[in-house]
Amino acid sequence: MQRSAYAESVEQLRAALALLTTLPESGERTEHELVMQSMLGRALMLTKGFVAPEVVQAFTRARELSEQVAVSPRLLPVLAGLRLFYLASGAFPLALELGERLLRLAEHTQERAWLLQAHIAQGQTFCFLGAFAQAHDHLEQGWALCDPREHRTPAPWTNPGVASLFYAAVALWMLGYPDQARQRSAQALTLARELAQPWSLASTLAHVAWVHQLRREPHIVRDLTETAISLSSEQGFPEWVARGTTLRGWALAEQGQPEEGVAQMRQGLAGTGGVVARPITLACLAEAQGRSGQVDAGLHTVTEALTLVETHGERFWEAELHRLQGELLLRRGDGGGEREGEAEACFQRALAVARRQQAKSLELRAAMSLARLWQRQDKRIEARDLLAPVYGWFTEGFDTADLQEARALLVELS
């Protein structure tokens, strides 16, 4: 595993599990199987994708076994693997519960490496739940515990310091700090390149591309994803090939190739395991469909994404999905005032969700959409009164597309 020979590690673990069946049943045998099934699940995640049937089987068995053994430090890697599996599967309440168990056990043992892992785990889960302030708190606590020099040996997973940085970057962008988000993501990429661990680097390239997608910088996203796809194809990481392809599709659509972008995003979605982060990818697809004239298809895609939000509770991109739904309704151009009323209701929902989540960047986007609609309806004063305080809150990121567009709109409304 440490040498990135994942297929060979799967063979060894399966051989070990076969030998284990020859031993008499005992508490020690149960503990051995628990550790092996958890390791097997993690190895299979790397080679087959996050929720391949073999991964499900290994982690389901590991969870059953975890209920049969006494709480001990040996459970730490098991809980970490189970949490990641359930997060990828969209079982967010269970992922949060397992993360809390991991954190409590790490606090009990006072093992700094596991405290770091536990804070990152909770930060990641809270991020997808839309609790961005809580996510950022955990991620910063994780980074404070991290000494990158302790993590320079090869490892079969994303380096914990790197992970704390790129998820902190995502949370910071959501909370309204786009420049700090860029700085954190740059730190993550620098560290990942220094460590030169294949899986960690592939994961980091994709996540840093995600941060630049949030900042609406398609040229950077395209460069990063092409590197991620090349590395992941060479190393046999199907998950990062798929996620890189979806992000590259977004970049193509933003650069004036919506049809090719739609095709790439569909290809990436077909290869992505699990449902985590699927709503944001569907939102990107819907936006590209709208740009290519497929407005009804875009609305259908948004509905699919919102259904996932309600089914699994992934609130990360909820506000933006409501805003996008409103924009697509306006693009249909039928229904007149009634259609504008439906769109306004979508924008108001987007504002409410963003405010509840303290997601200032998404609040700005929703405020711009509603302000543009009111501008069309000759409600210029109301539009300015809505947008000006949101824009005025920001202290950085004035070179980003969102803030530049907000400033230009305020000039039009003055």
pLDDT tens-digit readout, 39-54: 899 889 878 877 788 9
Show the domain range for 30: 1-110
Tens of pLDDT, residues 216-239:
999 999 999 999 999 999 988 888
The answer as to whether 165 is a domain residue is no
DSSP per residue, 25-51: P-HHHHHHHHHHHHHHHHHHHHHH-TT
| CATH number of the structural domain spanning residue 103 | 1.25.40.10
pLDDT tens, 71-95? 777 788 888 888 888 888 888 989 9
End-to-end CA distance of the chain: 61
164 found inside a domain: no
Mean pLDDT value of segment 325-336: 86
Render pLDDT for 10-24 as a digit per residue (tens, 0 to 9): 999 999 999 999 999
Q: Do 51 and 88 meet the contact criterion of CB atoms below 8 Å apart?
A: yes
Tally the domains of the chain. 1
Tell whether 1 is covered by a domain.
Answer: yes
| 407 in any annotated domain | no
Q: What would the DSSP string read from start to end of 369-410?
A: HHHHHHHHTT-HHHHHHHHHHHHHH--S-TTSHHHHHHHHHH
The answer, yes or no, to whether residue 163 has pLDDT greater than 70, is: yes
Torsion region of 130: left, alpha or beta (phi above 0 gives left; psi -120 to 50 gives alpha): left
The answer to whether residue 210 sits within a structural domain is: no
Distances (CA, A) of 112 to 30, 73, 138, 243: 27, 13, 14, 31
User: What pLDDT, on the 0 to 100 scale, is given for residue 81?
Assistant: 83
Which of these, 159, 205, 171, lies nearest to 186 by C-alpha position?
205
**297: pLDDT strictly greater than 50:** yes
**Is position 168 within any domain?**
no
> Which pLDDT score, from 0 to 100, does residue 153 have?
45
Q: Is residue 32 part of a domain?
A: yes
Look at residue 63 in the predicted model and tell me its pLDDT: 80
Reported confidence tier of residue 336, pLDDT bands at 50, 70, 90: low
**Token pair recorded at residue 16:** 């070990």
pLDDT at 47: 81
Q: What is the pTM of this model?
A: 0.90
Residue 284 has pLDDT above 90, yes or no: yes
Which tens digit of pLDDT belongs to each residue from 235-267?
888 889 999 999 999 999 999 999 999 999 999
Q: Is residue 335 part of a domain?
A: no
* pLDDT in the model for residue 52: 81
Whether residue 152 has pLDDT greater than 70 = no
165 in Cβ contact with 146 (< 8 Å): no
